[in-house]
Amino acid sequence: MAKETSSSPRWVKSSYSTENGGACVEWAPSNVTATGIVPVRDSKRTDDPVLMVSADAFAGLVRLARSTAL
C-alpha cells in the first residue's frame, strides 16, 4: 500500500466496494475541493497510476453508473 504523507490525498472507498474483493474504487474528495480535479484509483492496487478527471467528468461518470443504461 502506498505510504500516506501530509500531502497525500485522503482516499474514500466507494460504498459499492466490498471487503471480499468486489469492484473497489476510491476517490479523494479533499483534492476536489482544493483543485477541482478528482483522483480515482483501484483500492486493491494503490501503487498503480491514478486517474485524474475534472469534477464535471466525475459527476458524469457517477450519473452513468447510476443509470440503467449500463
Kindly list the averaged pLDDT for each block of 10 residues, start to end, along the chain of length 70: 56 72 80 90 89 94 77
Q: Which amino acid is at 59?
A: A
pLDDT for 17 equals: 63
- If we measure between CA atoms, which residue out of 48, 53, 49 comes closest to residue 35? 53
Strand pairing class (12-13; 37-42): unpaired
For the record, the C-alpha cell of 13 comes out as: 472507498
pLDDT for 58 equals: 92
pLDDT for 23 equals: 66
pLDDT for 34 equals: 85
pTM of the predicted model, to two decimals? 0.69
pLDDT for 53 equals: 95
How many other CB atoms are there within 10 angstroms of residue 51's CB atom? 15
